[in-house]
Structure 1
């Protein structure tokens, strides 16, 4: 896997993936685009959501929606690494069993989400979920 990041001027950078997709990043606290650290949160949410949805579908759970709300705290020193990140999965569907959602969230966190597994060495990652029936 390869990527390139190009400085656009000021504190804006454009990342281009090997597949040709682009993402603009703003090092100035995310004023014009997500900051790189916001990108880390979004990547964690995306990676884990892919897992959770896939696992729930394979478990034949009737899900109609999934989103994850992430919150992170950073240390007060430089570099300002994440100290903690919490993920709250919100699953929508009919007759969705909590045991299946809990299993999916745990499998993602402990086994499948590459982003979470990379961050685990330095970051305390926690998670919970809620199920919303229509």
Structure 2
């Protein structure tokens, strides 16, 4: 896997993946940023959420669960000192569908956290406390 980062002025950068997708990164105003994109650490958090959500949906699909929506809320705490690494991250999955089994959703979340999500496993092995929760809603 490869990526490139190109400085675009002040504290702004264009990040491009090997697959050709780009995202503009920017810093906070007090450091010269202009709020033209997410902060790099926000991207790390969003990447974790995307990785885990991908796993959960894949597992639920294989379990033949009729999912109509999956919304994942992430909250994180960072160290007060430099480097301001993540110390705690919580992922809360809100899964909506038809006749979903809570046990299947719980299993999918656990498997992602413990076995499949590369981002979760990498961050947890680096000392980040990562927790998960979920709720299941019936589709209307």
Alignment partner for residue 46 of structure 1, among 45, 50, 55? 50
Gaps of 5+ in 1: none
Cα offset for 1:23? Answer: 1.0
Counterparts of 1:38 and 1:127, CA distance in 2: 18
Residues in 2 aligned to 1:17 and 1:62: alpha-carbon distance in whole angstroms: 32
Task: Work out whether 1:118 is the aligned partner of 2:122.
Answer: yes
Match of 2:16 in 1: 16
State the aligned residue count: 134
Deviating 4+ runs (over 3 angstroms): none
2:96 maps to: 92
Deviation at 1:28, TM superposition (A): 2.1
In structure 2, the gaps of 5 or more residues are none
Alpha-carbon distance in structure 2 between the residues aligned to 1:129 and 1:67: 10
In the alignment, what sits opposite 1:27? 27
Partner of 1:72: 76
SS at match of 2:106: helix
Q: Which residue in 2 is equivalent to 1:128?
A: 133
1: CA distance, partners of 2:133 / 2:49: 13
The TM-score with structure 2 as length reference comes to 0.92
